[in-house]
Amino acid sequence: MIEPMLSEMREEAAISKRVLERIPADKLSWKPHPKSMSLGELAFHVASVPGNLTKVLQLEEFEPNFANFNPPLPKNLDEILATFDQGTRAAEEFLSDMDERTALGKWRVKAANGREVLCTPRIAAVRSIMLIHCYHHRGQLSVYLRLLDVQFQ
């Protein structure tokens, strides 16, 4: 059950790394629109997802504070890449050490008032939040790069 997901994570991490490496270091503050995250904020979010979610998914329940979500602007491209590398290693270790009981154990998200908004097997949360969430934002990041005429080949 876990090995296919671990394999997928490794393959997708390699793609994410290639996208992150193509970010122009001098364009981190660039935004496609005033309401959008900057290139650096979005890239740092993509880079942070594996490590941050590894920590959160080890908990039995999580209460996010969306009202205080202010994506940080990284200092430079090296910080983005280092964050991604560290987080990917942590996620790989987390998945490698996960047993079936933990994978199938319930993981909950609660609203600020304590109301449960999600209850799912932990492995489903890994798939939907750690993996698919990251793919979604990587897609956004690739659009930013395309608007900046960054070549992927």
Check which CATH number belongs to the domain holding 95 and give it.
Answer: 1.20.120.450
pTM for this one? 0.91
* pLDDT over 90 (residue 89): yes
The Cα 117–Cα 94 span in angstroms is 24
152, part of any domain: no
153, part of any domain: no
The Cα 103–Cα 95 span in angstroms is 9
Residues 6 or more apart from 146 whose CB is under 8 A from it?
none
Domain count, the chain: 1
Q: What is the per-residue pLDDT across 27-71, written as a single tens digit (0 to 9) for each?
A: 999 999 999 999 999 999 999 999 999 999 999 998 887 656 677
